[in-house]
A and B are shown apart, each in its own frame.
Chain A
Amino acid sequence: MTNPLIVAKNVEKSYQMGEVIVYALRGVDFTLYEKELVVVLGPSGSGKSTLLNIIGGMDTASAGELFYGELALHEAGSKELTFYRRNEVGFIFQFYNLMPNLTAYENINLSVQIAKNPLQIDELLTQVGLSDRRDHFPAQLSGGEQQRVAIARGLAKNPSMLLCDEPTGSLDLASGIQVLKLLRSFCQNYHKTVVIITHNTSIRHMADRVVYLKDGRVDKVEKNENPISAEKVTW
């Protein structure tokens, strides 16, 4: 087992909705290790996205403790969280969230220009297979291509982990497989932690570990001794 990257202790998240308090996380204990690919599975409303948002510094826990190394994320202010996101986290969304008026290259550059130790944009574009599309705008790219740009953008900052929220949710099988291959290769080649949140249970077979969430709690954690390659995933 490698070093722990994120340690969550009894993390809770609740929202006040009028007079009712809604609990999204009811005490999550969970550790994320360096260089692993983790798939988080669970039905709708189980707290997957909330957990990802909290780990990614987009949201804060209502109770409990969450550490990134020495950094106590549960106590961090918005400025600290901003710099945590800037330096340590790469995000991939279901709907890509690319800047519509920036080309593929420029979208990646947007991330590079704020990073301390960025990766080479052209090299990333080659790796995601889009070097010939570098000057295309998002509207000129297919969904799969847009998601690959988003992955390149997420990685370009050279973050410690890549957090992916339903990265294949809007893609067809072939494009989805391509995206999963990229995520796996980055985990291996760049030694980054990759977390994939999904409904798609087929993806769990390529993970090093699978975390099952249910009703805002970790139901179980499975270690996959022999993860399959992304090409073999099917749905």
Chain B
Amino acid sequence: MLWRKMLRDILGNKGSYLACLVLVLIGLVVFTAFSILSDNLRLSKEEFYTGQNFADGFVELTTMPQRHVETLSRIDGISHLSGRLVREVRLYAPQRQESVYLRLVSLDLTDPGRVNDALLLSGAELTGGALNAWIDNKFFEANGLELGQSLQVIAGGRLHELTLTGVGMSPEFTYPLRDLKEFYPNPEQFGIAFVPLEDMSTLFPDTRDRVNDLVFTLEAGADFDRVKELLEPELEQYGLRAIYPREDQLSHVMLTEEINGINSMSKALPLLFLFIAGIILYIMLKRLVEQQRGQIGLLKAFGYTNREVVVHYLSYALVVGSIGGLIGGSLGILLATPMTNLLFVFFNVPPVYTGFSLYYLVTGLLLSVSIFLFAGYHGCKDALKLKPAEAMRPPAPPFSGKSLLERVGFFWGMLTIQGMMAVRNLSRNLGRSVFLFLGIMISCAVVAMTWSFNDMVDKLVFYQFEEVETYDAKLILNLPAERKAVARELEKLPEVMRAEPMLEVPVALSHKWLEEDVLLLGITADSTFYNILDKRSNRIVPEKDGLILSERLAQKLDVQKGDSLDFGSPLFRLAKDQQVKVVEIIPQYLGMNAYMELSAVEGMLRQGKLATSFLLSVRGDTDETVGHNISTLRDRYRESDFVAGVDGREERFRQTRELMETFGSVIYLYVFIGVITGFSIIYSSSFIILSERSRELASMMVLGMTPREVFSVITFEQWFISFFAILAGIPLAQMMQWGFAMEMSTDMYTIPGELTLQSLFVAPLITGLSIWLAQRFVLSKIEKLSLIDVLKTRE
């Protein structure tokens, strides 16, 4: 019978229980879906890594005889070592305006235990000497290719035809980015081709029997740093550029961070939702026990034990928790697969689906039920204290007297009577007011932070492509070249107005025990195409005897302006390691670089006046004519082995924007979550206020107040708290943003820790809108309030 009573009570107040249920549902959907998603991604990654023998260490070299690979593989701690040739080529596609690049990665067909082996998804095995290749599946799909088709590539100064025999993928390129300035993979313009090692020497005759890249696995228990120490002296003579562990490999970093991010989200978000839902339930049950005081007395008078009475009230929590847990968990399981598919658009891993997960369904159910039972018990434990006779008497009227705010004379004088009631109610129900405050604060902070994040990503791309990089096109050379001669050559072209040289050199910077491998950008002191900007966007002139570091790099090396650090590069002739002073630390959102004046970098290289790329201003009055001239420039060098490619800045800006817009939809999910939280809190708290104060509200209506005037008492109270909660939400959002920026920033991009101005307008607006929306439901309830029923009964 008590179950029936409980069900009817719930149905009688279904709005509030539904708000509570929605929060549990969201929490459990996120919990199961994200947990399964994280498992799917982790399992896919692990299987892929194991199956394809993913490397523990990576080495980049200028060039090395292939025969030396065998010697190196005998180094203590190395389990297996593969030597490869990795080269980037341009696709010969005259019909396409933009440059399309392929990274050719050799596969030694004679090596059965190849490290970083490619997985063949469809097609046939590779044959040495047949100029055939496996192409990565994303590039294959994005460009609408077919097996058997030939791709024309410019390699070694000549046009070659590569026949596609298969479609494959590699654990090394689960998130393939052409360079660190790109946010997202762009499979239309950049792909990976796996080519037999012997075919590479056909494509690049100068590389016969040579490799420029090593990948190795470690023996069980071997230490990477120890192996690195042993490898370095062996490789120095071959122009060692970098040795780094798997933990620093770009795709691995991105994939692992994604899995970690999803994993922490699968715990933090559900707990937040369940916590809010638990508090709502706690308040609702506390109110219910106060309301049903007489009924509790009656039950006890009949002979029901305390335990039975408490179990009865706990059954409310059990029902909501179980329904929410079951539906939310099941929905989460259903959503996990489409969400996994969405993620596999970005990460190129052979998907492994765990599918239905009883474990997460049960864990989710137990989680929601236990949080609800805990909240429920604390909400209804007052029923234990009541003696039957006492319970059947009305409670002593609450008296809280004057509130603190009444002492603020000018404020109190401004209030209407409804305002006074509202303010006193805040102190009368302090616990609930605090909950309302916290809920709205969190809701506003979530919206502000996510909105700000969206703005920031937009801003940092804009900053990079509009303020820092102001050239029209960047011409990248395959090898460093004498800069004056090339510049002269380029400036003679009808498409080019001016060419500025740039020298990009891989360097190792170390300070104390910290070391970072980065790209040093040598820029001319009077550069107008690449602006090094300080925090206030003032241009900084690169110095000859000092380094400018990006904030993240300085942070990672623990250096301040004025500190000295050790500075070395395999490309520096004579002095390998030298000391250099940090003269400035600047914000940099895309990438992580060090900067120096061009001639100073040349001085260290001691190989003459060199450049690795040229920043160009291209003739043209409109974007179209500039774009057209960039295409002409590309055509000019389409078959050149000297030029690696011509990048249009506007084009990259647009592509990055477009890619981010597809990803940006996730942001709106968080905004939605913020709105739902705000809505549920206001909705449920309004209904608790309604049930608790219906008598007061009805009395006001009997006095002749309109439903809207009565409604204003509740809304004044809510807006009053919400105003301060929204204000408090901004510093909370700032703290969350700092934490988020710290957590999310990588060497590829730095998320600024500041909130944007726009988010400070939008978040209060959206939070306010969700509050306003929830209040509309309350107004309709007030309009339907039965004055007679409410006023007839004794409180």
Determine if A93 is an interface residue (Cβ-Cβ < 8 Å). Answer: yes
Determine if A147 is an interface residue (Cβ-Cβ < 8 Å). Answer: no
CB pair B421 A58 closer than 8 Å: no
CB pair B695 A82 closer than 8 Å: no
Q: Separation in Å of the B414 CB from the closest CB of chain A?
A: 14
Option from A93, A100, A101, A111 in Cβ contact (under 8 Å) with B791: A93
CB pair A99 B702 closer than 8 Å: no
User: Complex: how many Å from CA A111 to CA B788?
Assistant: 19
CB pair B706 A101 closer than 8 Å: no
Option from A85, A89, A140 in Cβ contact (under 8 Å) with B399: A140
Q: Separation in Å of the B411 CB from the closest CB of chain A?
A: 16
Contact A87:B397 (CB < 8 A) given known A59-B788, A95-B794, A113-B416? no
Determine if A53 is an interface residue (Cβ-Cβ < 8 Å). Answer: yes
CB pair B703 A101 closer than 8 Å: no
User: Complex: how many Å from CA A114 to CA B705?
Assistant: 7
- Which A residue's beta carbon lies closest to that of B424? A101
Determine if A91 is an interface residue (Cβ-Cβ < 8 Å). Answer: yes
**Interface members, chain A 122-142 (any B CB < 8 Å):** 137-140
Interface residue stretch chosen among A4-12, A102-110, A175-183: A102-110
Determine if A62 is an interface residue (Cβ-Cβ < 8 Å). Answer: no
CB pair B397 A106 closer than 8 Å: no
CB pair B399 A137 closer than 8 Å: yes
Option from A106, A114, A138, A139 in Cβ contact (under 8 Å) with B703: A114
- Collect the chain B residues with CB atoms within 8 Å of residue A115's CB: 704
CB-CB contacts of A36-79 with B at 8 A, as 1s and 0s? Answer: 00000000000001000100101100000000000000000011
- Collect the chain B residues with CB atoms within 8 Å of residue A111's CB: 703-704
User: Complex: how many Å from CA A87 to CA B706?
Assistant: 12
Option from A89, A97, A109 in Cβ contact (under 8 Å) with B699: A97
CB-CB contacts of A154-166 with B at 8 A, as 1s and 0s? Answer: 0001000000000
Determine if B428 is an interface residue (Cβ-Cβ < 8 Å). Answer: yes
CB pair A110 B700 closer than 8 Å: yes
User: Complex: how many Å from CA A119 to CA B399?
Assistant: 29
Determine if A214 is an interface residue (Cβ-Cβ < 8 Å). Answer: no
Contact A97:B695 (CB < 8 A) given known A86-B705, A106-B420? yes
- Which A residue's beta carbon lies closest to that of B417? A110
Which of under 10, 10 to 19, 20 to 34, or 35 or more describes the interface residues of B? 20 to 34
Q: Separation in Å of the A48 CB from the closest CB of chain B?
A: 12
User: Complex: how many Å from CA A157 to CA B397?
Assistant: 27
Q: Separation in Å of the A66 CB from the closest CB of chain B?
A: 16
Determine if B400 is an interface residue (Cβ-Cβ < 8 Å). Answer: yes
Determine if A153 is an interface residue (Cβ-Cβ < 8 Å). Answer: yes
Determine if B795 is an interface residue (Cβ-Cβ < 8 Å). Answer: yes
- Collect the chain A residues with CB atoms within 8 Å of residue B413's CB: none
- Which B residue's beta carbon lies closest to that of A52? B788
- Collect the chain A residues with CB atoms within 8 Å of residue B525's CB: none
CB pair A83 B420 closer than 8 Å: no
- Collect the chain A residues with CB atoms within 8 Å of residue B417's CB: 102, 106, 109-110, 113
**Interface members, chain B 397-431 (any A CB < 8 Å):** 397-401, 416-418, 420-421, 424-425, 428
CB pair B702 A91 closer than 8 Å: yes
CB pair B704 A110 closer than 8 Å: no
Task: Indicate the member of A56, A84, A91, A99 with the most B CB atoms within 10 Å.
Answer: A99
User: Complex: how many Å from CA A58 to CA B416?
Assistant: 25
Q: Separation in Å of the B331 CB from the closest CB of chain A?
A: 38
Option from B424, B703, B788 in Cβ contact (under 8 Å) with A110: B703
Q: Separation in Å of the A44 CB from the closest CB of chain B?
A: 12
Contact A82:B701 (CB < 8 A) given known A97-B791, A113-B416? yes
CB-CB contacts of B691-709 with A at 8 A, as 1s and 0s? Answer: 0000110111111111101
User: Complex: how many Å from CA A110 to CA B705?
Assistant: 10
Determine if B96 is an interface residue (Cβ-Cβ < 8 Å). Answer: no
Determine if B512 is an interface residue (Cβ-Cβ < 8 Å). Answer: no
Determine if B226 is an interface residue (Cβ-Cβ < 8 Å). Answer: no
User: Complex: how many Å from CA A71 to CA B428?
Assistant: 42
CB pair A99 B421 closer than 8 Å: yes
Q: Separation in Å of the A98 CB from the closest CB of chain B?
A: 8
User: Complex: how many Å from CA A113 to CA B700?
Assistant: 12
Option from B400, B425, B795 in Cβ contact (under 8 Å) with A95: B795
**Interface members, chain B 750-769 (any A CB < 8 Å):** none
User: Complex: how many Å from CA A53 to CA B702?
Assistant: 10
Option from A78, A85, A98, A100 in Cβ contact (under 8 Å) with B702: A85
CB pair A137 B401 closer than 8 Å: yes
CB pair B397 A86 closer than 8 Å: no
Contact A49:B792 (CB < 8 A) given known A101-B421, A102-B421? yes
User: Complex: how many Å from CA A101 to CA B228?
Assistant: 75
CB pair B787 A58 closer than 8 Å: yes
CB pair B704 A99 closer than 8 Å: no
User: Complex: how many Å from CA A111 to CA B418?
Assistant: 11
- Collect the chain B residues with CB atoms within 8 Å of residue A114's CB: 703-705, 709
- Which A residue's beta carbon lies closest to that of B713? A99
Q: Separation in Å of the A10 CB from the closest CB of chain B?
A: 22
User: Complex: how many Å from CA A83 to CA B707?
Assistant: 11
- Collect the chain B residues with CB atoms within 8 Å of residue A140's CB: 399
CB pair A58 B788 closer than 8 Å: yes
Contact A89:B704 (CB < 8 A) given known A97-B699, A100-B696, A139-B397? yes
Top 10 A-B residue pairs of the complex, sorted by shortest distance between their CB atoms: A86-B704, A139-B399, A101-B424, A85-B704, A97-B699, A139-B397, A110-B417, A58-B787, A111-B703, A91-B702
Could you show 27 A-B contacts with beta carbons less than 8 Å apart? A53-B788, A58-B702, A58-B787, A59-B788, A82-B704, A82-B705, A85-B701, A87-B704, A93-B791, A97-B696, A97-B698, A97-B702, A100-B397, A101-B421, A101-B425, A101-B428, A102-B417, A102-B420, A110-B417, A110-B700, A110-B703, A111-B703, A114-B705, A114-B709, A115-B704, A137-B401, A138-B397
Known: A87-B704, A109-B417. 16 other contacts (CB 8 A): A49-B788, A58-B787, A78-B783, A84-B704, A85-B702, A86-B703, A91-B703, A95-B791, A97-B695, A100-B399, A101-B425, A114-B709, A138-B397, A139-B397, A139-B398, A157-B703
